[in-house]
Amino acid sequence: MRCAILAFAAGAAWMQLQAALPSAPNLLVCALVAVLACRWRYSAPTVIFAGALLGFAWAGLAAHLALHDALPHKDEGRDITVTGAIASLPHRFDGGVRFHFDVEHTHTRDATVPPRILLSWYGATAADPALVHPGERWRLVVRLQRPHGNANPHGFDYEAWLLEQGVRATGYVRPAGGRNVRLDDWTPGAGYAIERARGYLRTRILAILDGKPYAGVIVALVIGDQRGIDQDDWDVFNRTGIGHLVSISGMHITMVAALAAWIASSLWRRSLWTDAQLPLRLPAQKAAALAGASVALLYVLLAGFGVPAQRTFYMLAVVAAALWLGRIASSSHVLCLALGIVVLLDPWAMLWPGFWLSFGAVAAILYACSGRLGEQARGWRAGLLLAARTQWAVTIGLAPLTLLLFGQVSLVSPLANAVAIPVISLFVTPLALMGSILPSPLADLVLGAAHLGVALLAWPLQRLAAPELAVWTAPAPAPWILGLALIGTAWMLAPRGWPQRWAGIAAWTPLLTQVPTAPPPGAFSVTAFDVGQGMALLVETHRHRLLYDTGPQYAPGASGATRVILPYLRGRGIRRLDTLVVSHSDLDHVGGADAVLQTLEVGELRSSLPPVHPLLRLAARRQRCLAGQGWQWDGVRFEMLAPDPASYANPRLKANARSCVLRVSAQGRAILLAGDIEAGQEAALLRTDAQQLRADVLLAPHHGSGTSSTASFLQAVGPSLGIFQVGHRNRYRHPKKEVYERYAEHGIRRLRTDERGAVTLRFGPGLEVESYRETRARYWHGR
């Protein structure tokens, strides 16, 4: 059974790596072949083959069902009136609110809307906490688009997340002059009731802890909603390796279920202080198992049904079922059954780190601590020894996976968890749960004590997270390096008596000695990120790196740097930039610069920013971009072509006109990064020296706007490839149709980041071009 379940999960995982979705008839044939194979010859190899084929077919058929309801292209960007219910806990942000919406009826003629959509409602009215609640029925005027997200290496796959959530369109509520109307305060439905209860608890906790810095942590521990935790706090939790505690984790669910089972068993044995003789009707063990599983289910539903919570509940449910049926369930069987149920109900769960870390942690603990021979010691020393062994197993067991998923491992995690686990699990979480349901003023005291516990814990965590050596970063390992490291991990965690367990560290050698990849001397590479409507490119030589612009700011604390650039650099194991060039002060270019300067070591900042710009204070070294500047790294030439010194003295010039224009060249190949210059600056460059503009690749000036990319400029540059960094369906309609066609008229190949994702260029004797959506295509992209 275990082999069959693991094979089923592997087959489902293989489906998620496909660039195209096999047809439904072919998938049904696969399922039929799997069944016939088992009936023909029941053996271990056959079961593994059949399990993998069945998992592949099941995940594919689930994908067909999920992708069936699509928003037609003709309905994108038009006003559509819909009636439906608020289906999720609304997320309030600066200037608005975001929620899932279950569509019941579409009023607009000839419009087809998927049954579930994700809506944002902007404006001061929408930001009112009293406006929308789960389960309410509304009639709204909305403007929608098909699912689309930024596509970058080591980045978050937003389109996959929408698919898993059942969301087939996203959009926003239009200001409709009174046509957006609440029709009913309540829509019957179990899901709506759960979300309404979660909303009530969140509102109550935030009201009691109004103004408290860690109120978001208390909310996360009670209902699993982590969106209220500040990014600075997340940085501390991640650097100390305790992020798994700042949510409803498996440990918390198990603790609550065990408490419920103990209370139920105690009451049942006493027949609830009646003469009913309940133990004679039903054994107390079975009553306790039923109570524990029921309370665990309730807690998991309040938690939002995340993968770690699902895994814990399914394991508890399997144990409870085994007890009711009088069967003995081994820990490995329990874990495999939980894995099979998760994949069966959610084939996309394995796309997310929580799936691998949750099941990986339990597997490491079971492998390192279960079924070991020897005398079972008792007492507090034995408890401490078991806790230390468990922490050792989790730390060593998850290190390779953590590097693969996040590009970093917390070195202070064992110490931080030794303090945080008892504080959060035994003190803060019980108080938070009790305080959320107790009446006032008891709730104020209990929740205040829980918040105090988090605040006291935060102080040592901040000290542990501060040193640079608190976190070890390395490139995401290649498959063979990861496999070798996992073998070494299993060797080190093997039972006592296993020969030379310490030698397992030798298998970690490739993992520990990785260095970021780099072009050879005399060559360079450029990565044009997909940051939406903004600009950001990484230029790499053999030993140096330059970042040209940092993308837009999406919201307070969220930018092209935090969501795209920094995750990419972590995944590559890059901790230092030699130069950051900020072309000019527009927010779609400078939006992530503060995050880059605060997170990475940056050698110098070159920009055209005004002297009073606050960003300049964050840079250790800074200088203005000026035409005529130049330097050479590893045989690669960097030339600053604009702006000229006189432009800084002209107050009438727009920031675009002062864009830093950078040409990078080597071995007769070059790229021209033109920022947001417009026709006037293009003409000035042509007058200065048209020959110096020659390049194989041109970053389209001003995202392909109608004020740039004149015919004479394109002729002087003479590129074979033009890169357009633009946002999907952006409000500026960049690139302009006439400009985009002008590139084609000049025989220039065109690549748009909104269509191709991040674009990587490798300059050497030749020019190699690859785009992320082509090299890592998935069946849900563009669907």
Establish how many alpha carbons lie within 13 A of residue 690's alpha carbon, considering only the half-sphere containing its beta carbon: 10
Q: What is the mean pLDDT of residues 188-200?
A: 93
Per the model's pLDDT, the better-predicted residue between 654 and 123 turns out to be 654
Estimate the share of the chain in helix, then strand, then coil, as percent rounded to the nearest 5: 50, 15, 35
Cα–Cα dist 378/606, whole Å: 64
Q: What is the mean pLDDT of residues 246-252?
A: 79
pLDDT higher than 70, residue 692: yes
Cα–Cα dist 172/119, whole Å: 5
Burial of residue 544 (CB within 10 Å: 0-12, 13-18, 19+) is buried
pLDDT higher than 70, residue 126: no
Q: Which two tokens stand for residue 558?
A: 């969220």
Q: What is the mean pLDDT of residues 347-367?
A: 90
DSSP state of 213: T
Q: How confident is the model at residue 742 (pLDDT cuts 50, 70, 90)?
A: very high
Q: Which helix (H) or strand (E) holds 119?
A: strand 116-122
Cα–Cα dist 466/239, whole Å: 9
Q: What is the pLDDT of residues 164-188, one digit of tens each?
A: 999 999 999 998 778 899 999 999 9
Q: How confident is the model at residue 15 (pLDDT cuts 50, 70, 90)?
A: very high
Cα–Cα dist 424/241, whole Å: 14
Q: Which two tokens stand for residue 31?
A: 């399922």
Cα–Cα dist 725/728, whole Å: 10
Does residue 543 contact residue 740 with C-beta atoms inside 8 Å?
A: no
> By three-state DSSP, how is residue 522 classified?
coil
Q: Mean pLDDT check: name the lowest of 6-20, 125-139, 160-174, 450-464.
A: 125-139
The H-assigned helical ranges of 549-670 are 560, 566-572, 587-590, 593-599
Per the model's pLDDT, the better-predicted residue between 368 and 124 turns out to be 368
Cα–Cα dist 252/238, whole Å: 19
Q: What is the pLDDT of residues 576-597, one digit of tens each?
A: 999 999 999 999 999 999 999 9
Q: b vs e for 282-309, b when ≥16 Cβ sit within 10 Å of the residue's Cβ?
A: ebbebbbbbbbbbbbbbbbbbbbebbbb
Q: How confident is the model at residue 370 (pLDDT cuts 50, 70, 90)?
A: low
The H-assigned helical ranges of 132-271 are 158-165, 190-208, 215-223, 231-240, 250-269
**Would you state the pLDDT for residue 248?**
77
State the CB neighbour count (10 A cutoff) for residue 437.
Answer: 11
Alpha-carbon distances, residue 206 vs 2, 52, 188, 441, 615 (angstroms): 45, 47, 26, 15, 34
State the amino acid at position 108 in one-letter form.
T
Cα–Cα dist 595/552, whole Å: 12
Cα–Cα dist 219/16, whole Å: 33
**Would you state the pLDDT for residue 549?**
98
**Would you state the pLDDT for residue 377?**
55
Q: What is the pLDDT of residues 45-59, one digit of tens each?
A: 888 999 999 999 999
Q: How confident is the model at residue 118 (pLDDT cuts 50, 70, 90)?
A: very high
Alpha-carbon distances, residue 345 vs 62, 181, 296, 306, 557 (angstroms): 9, 35, 18, 12, 34
**Would you state the pLDDT for residue 130?**
66
> By three-state DSSP, how is residue 768 classified?
strand
In whole numbers, what is the pLDDT of the chain averaged over residues?
92
Geometric angle at alpha carbon 120, from 117 and 123, rounded to 5° = 155
In the block, tokens 């949750």 appear at 358
Query: Phi, psi (5° rounding) for residue 291?
Result: -65, -45
pLDDT higher than 60, residue 400: yes
434 CA to centre of own chain: 31
Checking DSSP bridges between strand 181-184 and strand 137-145, what pairing results, if any? antiparallel
Q: What is the pLDDT of residues 220-241, one digit of tens each?
A: 999 989 989 998 899 999 999 9
Q: How confident is the model at residue 378 (pLDDT cuts 50, 70, 90)?
A: low
Does residue 454 contact residue 217 with C-beta atoms inside 8 Å?
A: yes
DSSP state of 95: T
Q: How confident is the model at residue 782 (pLDDT cuts 50, 70, 90)?
A: confident
Q: How confident is the model at residue 636 (pLDDT cuts 50, 70, 90)?
A: very high
500: alpha, beta or left, given left = phi > 0 and alpha = psi -120 to 50? left
**Would you state the pLDDT for residue 703?**
97
Per the model's pLDDT, the better-predicted residue between 361 and 8 turns out to be 8
Does residue 605 contact residue 597 with C-beta atoms inside 8 Å?
A: yes
Q: Which two tokens stand for residue 632?
A: 């050479």
* CA quadruple 519, 525, 529, 535: dihedral sign: positive
Q: Mean pLDDT check: name the lowest of 144-158, 325-339, 538-552, 645-659.
A: 325-339
Q: How confident is the model at residue 124 (pLDDT cuts 50, 70, 90)?
A: low
**Would you state the pLDDT for residue 555?**
85
DSSP state of 261: H
DSSP state of 616: G
Alpha-carbon distances, residue 580 vs 86, 593, 605, 676, 700 (angstroms): 44, 8, 5, 17, 20
Q: Mean pLDDT check: name the lowest of 380-384, 601-605, 608-612.
A: 380-384
pLDDT higher than 80, residue 442: yes
Q: What is the mean pLDDT of residues 386-403?
A: 87
Q: What is the mean pLDDT of residues 151-164?
A: 96
**Would you state the pLDDT for residue 129?**
62
DSSP state of 218: H
Question: CA end-to-end span of the chain, whole Å?
Answer: 36
Q: Is the peptide bond before 479 cis (omega within 30 degrees of 0)?
A: no
Cα–Cα dist 82/102, whole Å: 10
Establish how many alpha carbons lie within 13 A of residue 215's alpha carbon, considering only the half-sphere containing its beta carbon: 15
Does residue 469 contact residue 449 with C-beta atoms inside 8 Å?
A: no
Could you tell me how many residues make up the chain?
A: 783
Alpha-carbon distances, residue 90 vs 121, 159, 175, 525 (angstroms): 10, 20, 19, 43
Question: Which residues touch 400 (CB under 8 Å, ≥6 apart)?
Answer: 477, 482, 485, 486, 489, 508, 511
Q: What is the pLDDT of residues 485-534, one digit of tens each?
A: 999 999 999 887 788 888 889 999 999 999 999 999 999 999 999 999 99
**Would you state the pLDDT for residue 587?**
95
> By three-state DSSP, how is residue 769 classified?
strand
Cα–Cα dist 381/387, whole Å: 10
**Would you state the pLDDT for residue 128?**
66
